[in-house]
Amino acid sequence: MHLRFLLLVSLSFVFSALCAQDTTSTSFGNGLINVVAKDSSWSTKSTFRVQTQYEGVLTDDNSYTDRYRVRRGRIKGNGWVGKDQKIKYKYEYDMVNGQVLDAVLRYEFAKNWEIWIGQTKLPGNIERVISSQSLQLVDRSILNARFNLDRDGGLQLHHTHFLGSVMVKEKLAFSQGEGLNSTNKSKGSSYTARLEIFPFGNFEKARGEYKSSDLRRTKTPKLMLGFVFDHNEQAIRSQGHIGSYFSNASRNLATVMADAHLKYKGLSIMLEYAQRYAENSSPVIAPIEDDHGTILVPGAVFYTGYAANAQAGYLFKSFWEIAGRFTMLRPEDQLLEDNKEQYTLGVSRYVYGHNLKIQTDASLLQEANGSSEVMFRLQTEFTF
């Protein structure tokens, strides 16, 4: 699979170079291949990015474990087809895990209306939709680990309009419900809606709301408020779109989310809330046993509960940034899991924005049973 995909990408680079008008990238991080056809009928940009990471964890018993790894390695690209540029595409391949992440077509069928077809991120919590390349800290929070909607295959409808100076975006998704690269037939489907409100108008750069840090040192305050609801019908994974698969169990899961993102003169603040519950049923399904205690049908536990996340950072004019995050995790009582709280402090140095940066952070994770651990991470990001 790896060799076939890499061969295909290599051939596409050669084809692009032969047919293109310009094969020179304008700046670092703007793509290994960045071309427009001679007749302006199509374009493509292909990018390669790698994250390398050191991680060390110190536990209560003073044991220290660590690892050094390639955290992420991606080949990604996008472009448009047609001189009116109304058809756009995006793809992304994960070289570390050997799987396609994004494969989506976007069609602007009317002014401010787009339909998306394929596999890509669902319009869920802001922290998940922000690219792992554009994070303010080394990685996402434990809220995101438990409650994010991740990627799924299906259809999405996006619309933008204005109410005076206030910009409003509506995003709807109809998807399979089993998440990334699911090939089995689905028992149910997932329905996702996200509403975004920009009280002070659009951010200074397109999709600037989905860049964690205020690298542009926004001159006037910019704010996005987001609200999400997802109904996953007959989910067969422990966290809806992600998590363990259950062969003999399913639940209708509902997820509600709210988030906010503010940027102003180097300051960035992000707030998130997420809650998941099993609709009209328990998230715990007991195993079925015979008279001798032999398990005939295994049980299942769907992760439910709620979490909150607060994060803030300040970017200095020297492009050093300090950031902090507090996350609380509250699983539902029936899960018999401990409440958790995590405190994170990080420092970043942006050399070429998010395309070349060094980040480090330290986190303290505390559980209600009294146990705790300290995690230290050092990460580099480079994108060509």
The predicted structure's pLDDT at residue 181: 86
Domain ranges, residue 376: 40-383
Taking 80 as the threshold, does the pLDDT of residue 15 lie above it? no
CATH number at residue 295: 2.40.160.10
Tokens of 204: 């200074």
Residue 21 maps to a domain? no
Query: Is the predicted pLDDT of residue 13 greater than 60, yes or no?
Result: no
Q: pLDDT at position 59, please? A: 94
Q: Looking at the domain assignment, is residue 7 inside a domain?
A: no
Contact between 211 and 224 (Cβ < 8 Å): no
What's the whole-model pTM score? 0.91
Query: Measuring CA to CA, which residue among 366, 301, 293 is closest to residue 336?
Result: 301
Per mean pLDDT, which of 1-15, 115-129, 244-258, 279-293 is the most reliable? 115-129
Can you give the pLDDT at residue 149? 96
Tens digits of per-residue pLDDT, 30-40? 788 889 999 98
Residue 181 to residues 98, 150, 164, Cα–Cα distance (Å): 11, 11, 41
Residue 159 belongs to some domain of the structure: yes
Nearest of 383, 354, 346, 357 to residue 208 by alpha carbon: 354
> Do the domain assignments include residue 32?
no
Q: What is the pLDDT of residue 17?
A: 52
Kindly give the pairing relationship between strand 288-289 and strand 295-297.
antiparallel
Tell me if 185 is assigned to some domain. Answer: yes
Q: What is the mean pLDDT of residues 106-114?
A: 97
Interatomic CA distance for residues 382 and 51, integer angstroms:
7
Question: In the prediction, which pLDDT does 2 show?
Answer: 53
Residue 326 tokens read as 């507090």
Select the more confidently predicted residue: 239 or 286: 239
∠ CA 312-213-95, rounded to 5°: 115
Q: How far is CA 297 from CA 247, 292, 366, in A?
A: 9, 14, 35
Mean pLDDT, residues 265-294: 90
Structural domain count, the chain: 1
Query: Distance (Å, rounded) from C-alpha 324 to C-alpha 347?
Result: 9
pLDDT of residue 236: 93
Q: Please say if the pLDDT value at position 184 is more than 90.
A: no
pLDDT tens-place string over residues 346-379: 999 999 999 999 999 999 999 999 899 999 999 9
Structural domain includes residue 28? no
The per-residue pLDDT for 28 is 77
Asked if the structure places residue 101 within a domain, the reply is yes
Q: What is the pLDDT of residues 40-92, one digit of tens each?
A: 899 999 999 999 999 999 999 899 999 999 999 999 999 999 999 999 999 99
How far is it, in rounded angstroms, from Cα 235 to Cα 178?
A: 7
| pLDDT for position 3 | 56
Computed over every residue of the chain, the mean pLDDT equals 91
Does 26 fall in a domain?
A: no
Question: What pLDDT score does 14 carry?
Answer: 53
Mean pLDDT, to the nearest integer, of 298-312?
94
